[in-house]
Amino acid sequence: MAAYAIVDLDIFDIADYLEYQRQLRPLLEAAGGRYLVRGGEFEVIEGEYRPQRIILVEFPSMEALRDFYESDAYRDLEKQRKACSRAIMVAVRGVEDALALQD
């Protein structure tokens, strides 16, 4: 079952972030990750949430997402991301039947 990384990202050094992004792409692809949302226009329709930049990445499974996030390759790259941006990240498991009314 697919899993999703939902990220609210505040970039404060765009040049360094673009280099991070360039190095991130092959790691994501190797883990089966693919962008569904990467920045772009958004609208808060309820509540007082004020995101900066929304990113949504789909992985084949929660295990694949965790393996990616906890990998040595990403841990090294994560230091670069933290030097140029601030993030809130949530991992969520998808559902097989989006119409199912169960947990």
How many Å apart are CA 14 and CA 11, to the nearest integer? 6
Residue 99 has pLDDT above 70, yes or no: no
Do 14 and 21 touch, CB atoms closer than 8 A? no
Tell me the CB-side half-sphere exposure of residue 46, using CA atoms within 13 A.
Answer: 0
| pLDDT given for residue 40 in this prediction | 80
Domains of the chain and any CATH numbers: 3-42+52-93 (3.30.70.100)
Residue 103 has pLDDT above 60, yes or no: no
| pLDDT given for residue 21 in this prediction | 95
- The 10s digit of each residue's pLDDT in 46-92 is 999 999 999 999 999 999 999 999 999 999 999 999 999 999 999 99
- The 10s digit of each residue's pLDDT in 5-40 is 999 999 999 999 999 999 999 999 999 999 999 988
